[in-house]
Chain A
Amino acid sequence: MRDITDRALDTAASQGASYADVRVVRRLEESIAVKSGRLEGVSSSESEGFGVRVLVDGAWGFSSSNWLTPAEADRVAAEATRIARASATALRNRVALDSRPPALGHYETPLDIDPFTVPFETKIAELLAADEEANRVKGIVYTETTYGAQREWKTFAASDGSFTEQVITHVGAGIESNAASGDEQQRRSYPDAGGGWQAAGYEYIRGLDLKGSAGVRAEEAVALLTAPLCQPGRRTIILDPSQLYLQVHESCGHPTELDRVFGTEASYAGTSFMTTDLLESGFRYGSDLITIVADATAPGGMGTFGWDDEGVAAQAVPLVQNGIFVGYLSSRETAPRIGRQSGGAMRADGWNRIPLIRMTNINLQPVPGMSLDEIVADTDDGLYLASNRSWSIDDRRLNFQFATEVAYEIKGGKKGQLLRNPTYTGITYEFWRSCDAVGDERSYVMLGTPNCGKGEPSQTGHVGHAVPGARFTNVQVGVGNG
């Protein structure tokens, strides 16, 4: 790779770039989909290319290509500098990067079983077996059992002498069972909607035991068809990790992205209510029980790496400490504007996209005391909500509304009656301030999503969320069910 990276950096410098970096990325992906007992699709894809990012006259330019030749490296680097000069014609503040030592080294996702060496027929057989269990349940109209794996070989080089190589592997699998009757349609997923994903090898897939859990979830999907509606009202709710991770994602992860705070996503996904004056004033984001950390070193998380895509080493950055807003996800460009060093959150979706501030692993820290089961036992009257069905939040990340696949009525510390079409809504900081119980280490699990969207052109990010489950009081539920 050195021939490509050196050539691109040399050309960028000769064209006037004050800073340049180049990423060469090869991505291998495979996926399997089984639907209602039949193999629906098996696919494999390979993508390889490089992107060159430059600063000229204080303005950014980026170009990319999937032709890995020295001549193309020259062309792309020159095009990036031309684009940067065009950017400079509409520039009001020159870009300044924080300083950091050159990044050097190698990182690789630790794993036991390489998913790309497990034969397709083995993986297919395991998915079909799980799918069959779900389809045994009377009333199921279709099932979908999926598997996916992604590996990236990423070389990063920068004009400051940085040179890193990383091999990052993510795997995921899940099963969805769908029941329908008339206008009603219900779904139950395992391990959660969209499947379970981790930075790991095939041992993670085996550990999910899809087959062992498929039947129970399918029976719940059928039972939900005739379950009572979740009625509107203000209730105490307990969020299972399968829903809590998305609550963290939408209402803490995204609003603490510092680029969003500075308006650079305003025309697409919006801005953030978590403005820098709130950081300075020690804004109370949640109750004392809420501590949230962006930890790019967490084992198994899809936001775990050696260095981000600017060559900043992986680190753990506190975002909320005992309920107080204390930090942001940041980059080399944005962090200096608040007098800090980059927290290492710049990540790009492949060779043909620029790095943006993305979530790493945004983790709600466990609180010693009660497991999730013990929180249920401690709840006299409430709802237990699990597995996301729908999500929406406003363009400053204040008003959110989620639907989950299922709610269980809690009476006298015990989960009982299933409730259909549950939803809950609130204002972000009011909701987190209402948290009166967070699960301990025994309930702490690493989850995540491979489908976090951001940016123009669009980018899809893989992010992790370790959460233990938590309880919230006086929450509006049952929106639209009145």
Chain B
Amino acid sequence: MSVDIDPRRRLALAEKVLLAAEQAGATEAEVLVLADDSALTRFANSEIHQNVAETSATVNLRFVVGKRVAVVTTGRTDNDGLVALVEQAASIARVVEELEDWGGLPEPQPITEAEGGWSEATASASPESRAEGVRAVIAAADEAGSVAYGSYSTGAETIAIANSKGIRAVQRQTSAQLLTVSMAPNGGTGYAEAVSVDVDRIDPAAIGREAAEKARATQNPVAVEAGEWPVVLEEYAVVDIVDMLGYLGFSALAVQEERSFYEPGRRIGSDLVTMVDDPNDPNGLPMAFDFEGVPKERVSLIDHGLCGEVVYDAQTAARAGRQSTGHGLPAPNPYGPFPLHMVMSPGTSSREDLIGGLDRGLLVTRFHYTNPVHPKLCVITGMTRDGTFLVEDGKIVGPVRNLRYTMSYLDALAGISAVSAQRKTLKGFLGGVVVPAVRIDGWSFTGTTEH
């Protein structure tokens, strides 16, 4: 690794740019430094075919004059690059319109370091160690007579923030992810994934075996009719529901723009559904503060089926006359605040209990290419993928071809009748999520395909 991800030096860089911005006439300023050292080893057809590494640092400057706000980003961290950054920001801020409801940059608050967010093993992972993990996945596929595809990534990042209100915040974090699709003859496919702060907690051989076993079990899938089916969704599918709810509903900006389903206290799920955004969950990817330097709060999103709170950044909080919950993304941010650490509470069921509760239904491993059809109603369409099974009388009968669904995820939440005790940590749209498997009484499949 060559990138300077030393936290103190990254914060010193942020302070240096902040001082220059203030000297250039900023009435408020915020500097966000992101330093990243990451690598990804990708494999297909049971061999490594892409293998990449990246060293980068960016400086993001929010330069404010009164209510005129400019954001400039640079990847040039030499002196000339930083001087140009400040000059460009100052020149834009002088000419832009005022942001009428500008709420000001956030004030400093005490920040408690997030425990468990850093792993030396992940930070020092080598191309050789990733290749060793990939070989273990391939060996599992070979053993099962299938072919392995996937990626194994490791990364270390430092986030440093200094603003003119006195915020000085710095944290470093690591993450590792191994995912694989295993393909067997006659249309068999299976998927498995593991995500952790600590790469040493990922067992490549086990991930390889899980995917390969499923690929073997899904050979020669048969067609079933689209229609309303009870389903069991594995954790890899549930992550999409959790993510979409966060994206479409639990952002304060979505509420303020009247495009969210959210209403305080509204029942949107069965009693079994409880969901929080918890940056300190030890199973997730911990983070102490957001990209505005505000400490991240634990926010109750759904409590036993009832809408709880939404997440705020500084600007949406100012509009609502309240404090940020620490969910800001780097400026400029047209998407608004986002829950990056969603955690769904476990239930009491085993995987066998979930499947055993289906008289005639489908077991779904994961979803593919999902997209909102009607955002406010949370209607989503997507496909099943990498392991869909017919279940009769509580037992898996055999694999079925993939199906398209068009379904309100709010209806899905309302139909949850059982939740697994075990959960998985997985990557969501932007952060790490912790999810169980669930059984849902009705799922609207609206189309079929040929595999």
Binds A, one of B285-293, B295-303, B377-385: B377-385
User: Does A82 touch B at the CB level, under 8 Å?
Assistant: yes
User: Does A427 touch B at the CB level, under 8 Å?
Assistant: yes
Closest to B52 in A: A62
Binds B, one of A118-126, A160-168, A277-285: A118-126
Query: Interface residue count for B (Cβ, 8 Å)?
Result: 96
Q: Would A425 and B449 be within 8 Å (CB), given that A92-B46, A393-B369, A395-B368 are in contact?
A: no
Question: Hey, which chain B residues are within 8 Å of A46, CB to CB?
Answer: 73-76, 81, 84-85
Query: 8 Å CB contacts to A: which residues of B68-103?
Result: 69-77, 81, 84-85, 88-89, 92, 95-101
User: Does B42 touch A at the CB level, under 8 Å?
Assistant: yes
Contact partner of A86 (CB less than 8 A), chosen from B3, B41, B45, is B41
Question: Hey, which chain B residues are within 8 Å of A63, CB to CB?
Answer: 52-55
Question: Hey, which chain B residues are within 8 Å of A353, CB to CB?
Answer: 52
* Inter-chain contact A61/B58, CB cutoff 8 Å: no
User: Does B181 touch A at the CB level, under 8 Å?
Assistant: yes
User: Does B262 touch A at the CB level, under 8 Å?
Assistant: no
The CA of A120 and the CA of B70, in the complex, are separated in Å by: 11
Closest CB in chain B relative to A17 CB, distance in Å: 14
Question: Hey, which chain B residues are within 8 Å of A185, CB to CB?
Answer: 258-259, 374-376
Closest to A119 in B: B95
* Inter-chain contact A86/B73, CB cutoff 8 Å: no
* Inter-chain contact B48/A59, CB cutoff 8 Å: yes
Question: Hey, which chain B residues are within 8 Å of A92, CB to CB?
Answer: 45-47
User: Does B450 touch A at the CB level, under 8 Å?
Assistant: yes
The CA of A185 and the CA of B257, in the complex, are separated in Å by: 11
* Inter-chain contact A83/B53, CB cutoff 8 Å: yes
Question: Hey, which chain B residues are within 8 Å of A75, CB to CB?
Answer: 2
* Inter-chain contact A396/B54, CB cutoff 8 Å: no
Closest CB in chain B relative to A433 CB, distance in Å: 15
* Inter-chain contact B99/A352, CB cutoff 8 Å: no
Binds A, one of B104-112, B129-137, B345-353: B129-137
Contact partner of A390 (CB less than 8 A), chosen from B71, B101, B259, B381, is B381
* Inter-chain contact B150/A457, CB cutoff 8 Å: no
Q: Would A262 and B45 be within 8 Å (CB), given that A64-B55, A396-B451, A480-B444 are in contact?
A: yes
Q: Mark B147-185, 1 if CB is under 8 A from A, else 0.
A: 101110100000000000000000000000001110100
Contact partner of B404 (CB less than 8 A), chosen from A45, A66, A391, A394, is A394
Contact partner of A91 (CB less than 8 A), chosen from B47, B72, B382, is B47
Q: Would A91 and B48 be within 8 Å (CB), given that A40-B99, A391-B371 are in contact?
A: yes
* Inter-chain contact B75/A401, CB cutoff 8 Å: no
User: Does A44 touch B at the CB level, under 8 Å?
Assistant: yes
Most chain A CB atoms below 10 A, which of B85, B138, B447: B447
* Inter-chain contact A120/B181, CB cutoff 8 Å: no
Query: 8 Å CB contacts to A: which residues of B291-344?
Result: 331-334
Q: Would A86 and B372 be within 8 Å (CB), given that A60-B49, A264-B50 are in contact?
A: no
User: Does A183 touch B at the CB level, under 8 Å?
Assistant: yes
User: Does B121 touch A at the CB level, under 8 Å?
Assistant: no
Q: Would A66 and B444 be within 8 Å (CB), given that A40-B334, A398-B449 are in contact?
A: no
Closest to A273 in B: B450
* Inter-chain contact A457/B153, CB cutoff 8 Å: yes
The CA of A33 and the CA of B335, in the complex, are separated in Å by: 11
The CA of A183 and the CA of B99, in the complex, are separated in Å by: 30
Question: Hey, which chain A residues are within 8 Å of B88, CB to CB?
Answer: 44
Question: Hey, which chain A residues are within 8 Å of B375, CB to CB?
Answer: 185
User: Does B24 touch A at the CB level, under 8 Å?
Assistant: no
The CA of A35 and the CA of B48, in the complex, are separated in Å by: 46
Closest CB in chain A relative to B69 CB, distance in Å: 7
The CA of A451 and the CA of B400, in the complex, are separated in Å by: 33
The CA of A315 and the CA of B363, in the complex, are separated in Å by: 47
The 6 closest A-B pairs by CB, nearest first: A41-B332, A86-B127, A45-B73, A399-B449, A480-B406, A267-B149
Chain A residues proximal to chain B, CB less than 8 Å? 31, 33, 35, 38-49, 59-67, 72, 75-76, 79-80, 82-84, 86-87, 89-93, 119-121, 124, 128, 141-142, 144, 178, 180, 183-185, 262-270, 273, 352-354, 389-396, 398-399, 401, 403, 421, 423, 425, 427, 456-457, 479-480
A-B contact pairs, 18 of them (CB 8 A): A41-B332, A41-B333, A44-B89, A47-B74, A64-B54, A64-B56, A65-B2, A66-B57, A86-B41, A87-B51, A142-B257, A142-B259, A183-B376, A264-B49, A267-B44, A389-B373, A393-B369, A457-B52
